[in-house]
């Protein structure tokens, strides 16, 4: 029961990959990717920059990989009521909407996502997409194609939205409308097999 004085240093939580990634994300969201430096990250964690290398031996490269993994991870798939009749379309719409929101929330990470880095990061995402389509009765092949198209659309749209929302834009384009228009354009072409088992 030795009460620590509230001098606030000393007994801060120990460094961990989670804390590092969280602090990095905060810097990116608040100041932009360009201002994420190991030294600034160290400051935010109240630690010397060199301490980070003990947890991420590959240094900044490994940090960026972790950021991609963190942002690209699939949002938890809804439990799926699946009362037939094409409810899977709504499920895909919800999925796409929340994934877009996730990307916009961390728009500064987007440039890292369109790189070869951390190729495995999107696997669970595409898998959960294919699963929704499979449950909707869409044949395996078509489901793979549709899942890919959907993910590409969400990423591409978000990229355009980030570009369009740059300061000093004249006309106010309604990105929500654009997004759902494009979404429906794809979803309307996806068809389940004649009869669902």
Partner DNA sequence: ACCTGAACACCGTTCAAGT
Residues in contact with DNA by CB under 7 A are 14-15, 35-40, 42, 47-51, 53-55, 59-61
Please report whether residue 73 would count as binding a copy of itself according to CB under 8 A: no
User: Measured over all CA atoms, what is the biggest interatomic distance in the chain, rounded to whole angstroms?
Assistant: 71
Decide whether 80 or 123 has the Cβ nearer to a copy of itself.
123
Residue 173 CA to chain centroid, in angstroms?
A: 23
The residue range among 41-49, 89-97, 128-136, 153-161 that interacts with a copy of itself, by the rule CB under 8 A, is 153-161
Minimum distance from residue 24 beta carbon to a copy of itself (Å):
17
With b for 16 or more beta-carbon neighbours within 10 A and e for fewer, the 46-61 pattern comes to ebeeeebeeebeeeee
Please report whether residue 117 would count as binding a copy of itself according to CB under 8 A: yes
Minimum distance from residue 168 beta carbon to a copy of itself (Å):
8
Decide whether 52 or 100 has the Cβ nearer to a copy of itself.
100
Counting Cα atoms < 13 Å in the Cβ hemisphere of 19 gives 14
Please report whether residue 171 would count as binding a copy of itself according to CB under 8 A: no
Please report whether residue 148 would count as binding a copy of itself according to CB under 8 A: yes
Q: Which of 152, 176, 193, 196 binds a copy of itself (CB under 8 A)?
A: 152
116 is in the binding site of which of a copy of itself, DNA, none (Cβ under 5 to 8 A by kind)?
Answer: a copy of itself
Helix, strand, coil percentages in the chain from 3-state DSSP, rounded to 5: 65, 0, 35
Beta strand spans in the chain (E): none
The residue range among 13-21, 91-99, 130-138, 156-164 that interacts with a copy of itself, by the rule CB under 8 A, is 156-164
Angle ∠(20,155,60) on CA atoms, nearest 5:
25
């Amino acid at each position: 029961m030795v009460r620590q004085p509230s001098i606030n240093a000393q007994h801060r939580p120990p460094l961990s990959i989670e804390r590092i990634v969280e602090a990095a994300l905060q810097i990116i969201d608040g100041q932009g990717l360009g201002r994420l430096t190991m030294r600034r990250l160290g400051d935010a964690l109240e630690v010397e920059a060199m301490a980070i290398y003990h947890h991420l031996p590959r240094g900044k490269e490994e940090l960026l990989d972790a950021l991609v993994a963190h942002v690209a991870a699939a949002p938890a798939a809804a439990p799926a009521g699946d009362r037939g009749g094409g409810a899977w379309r709504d499920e895909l719409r919800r999925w796409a909407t929340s994934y877009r929101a996730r990307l916009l929330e961390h728009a500064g990470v987007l440039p890292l996502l369109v790189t070869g880095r951390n190729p495995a990061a999107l696997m669970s995402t595409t898998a959960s997409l294919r699963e929704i389509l499979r449950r909707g009765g869409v044949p395996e092949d078509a489901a793979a194609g549709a899942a890919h198209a959907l993910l590409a659309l969400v990423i591409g749209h978000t990229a355009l939205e980030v570009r369009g929302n740059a300061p000093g834009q004249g006309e106010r384009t309604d990105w929500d409308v654009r997004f759902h228009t494009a979404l429906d354009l794809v979803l309307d072409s996806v068809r389940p097999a004649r009869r669902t088992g």
